[in-house]
Amino acid sequence: MKKQVLITGGAGFIASHLCEVLLSDGNRVVCVDNLSRGSKNNISKMLTNERFKFIDGDVCSEIVVRKLEGEKFDQIYHMASPASVDYVVEHPVEAADVNSIGTKKMLELARRLDAKMLFASSSEAYGDPHEHPQKESYWGNVNPVGIRSGYDEGKRFGEALCMAYHREYKVDTKIVRIFNTYGPHSGPQDSRIIPRFITQALKGEPITIHGDGLQTRSFCYVSDLVGGIVKMMESEEVGPINLGNSEELSVIDVAYIIIEKTKSKSKIKFTERLEDDPFKRKPDVGLAREKLNWGPTVSFDQGLDATIEYFKTIV
């Protein structure tokens, strides 16, 4: 049965791919985005589809919420949120608001419409973890007053709010914790590791590494991630459930791989390590495999090639 779906932050990197997948499955999709980080280019091909509707606005706004109240949604994917570290450090209020106020407004909408609601949380909920790899049972190590706390604690509070609505009002909520994701529809302005390194390499600029580059990350290709998000929505699970790739790479190794793949003459430039920067990041995805029958299928080599080809068209 085809569904009426709301996707907040739908013009963003990950959510625009989600829009495409759900639209291609025959659903009607309403995309809300204030374009602070998203781009209309990411959804341009969908704008002419009669089953796709774009609303330019902020999910924290009552005006936008009133526009949505006239719709009948079966599912709400709350994907809206800035993500890259530089941006959330510079705009901590925006990060905190969309994950708290915006989440509450979407939960209220889900409650009124009896809709399922999925909250896109983050591996940042684990902070700089003392447990490795990170399981969903780990409570994390987050600095509640640090420079990243608007985002980190915003995601943690968003999770708490989802569980509060689930327990008190029986709203069908779902929580996924998204680990580092890469692929097309991210852009040169994105300060996350892979888009930043690719942009710098293609321009022949120094590859800037915060700290010594020995910190690790685990990168999941966007199509794999979106597949997991959809499976979570269609499941009976509440979560939280980790979605990511368990292949762990050091930041400096990623830089050298990108330099080689782009045939760049860029040199490595080490800068001061960011405050509260996690030293290790690797998901335990055993729960996703067990409950969702999901796991990543795109290798880092394949995904990186596709991402570099996309960036060559926009850098």
Query: Are the C-beta atoms of 241 and 136 separated by less than 8 Å?
Result: yes
d(CA 288, CA 302): 22
d(CA 247, CA 180): 11
- Indicate the residue type of 49: N
Locus of tokens 């943690």:
156
Q: Would you call 151 a catalytic residue per the annotation?
A: yes
Q: Out of 77, 87, 126, 151, which one is annotated catalytic?
A: 151
- SS3 (DSSP) at 57: coil
Query: Are the C-beta atoms of 134 and 284 separated by less than 8 Å?
Result: yes
Residue 82: asked if its preceding bond is cis (omega within 30°), the reply is no
Q: What is the 3-state secondary structure (H, E, C) of 190-250?
A: CCCHHHHHHHHHHHCCCEEEECCCCCEEECEEHHHHHHHHHHHHHCCCCCCEEECCCCEEE
List active site positions.
151
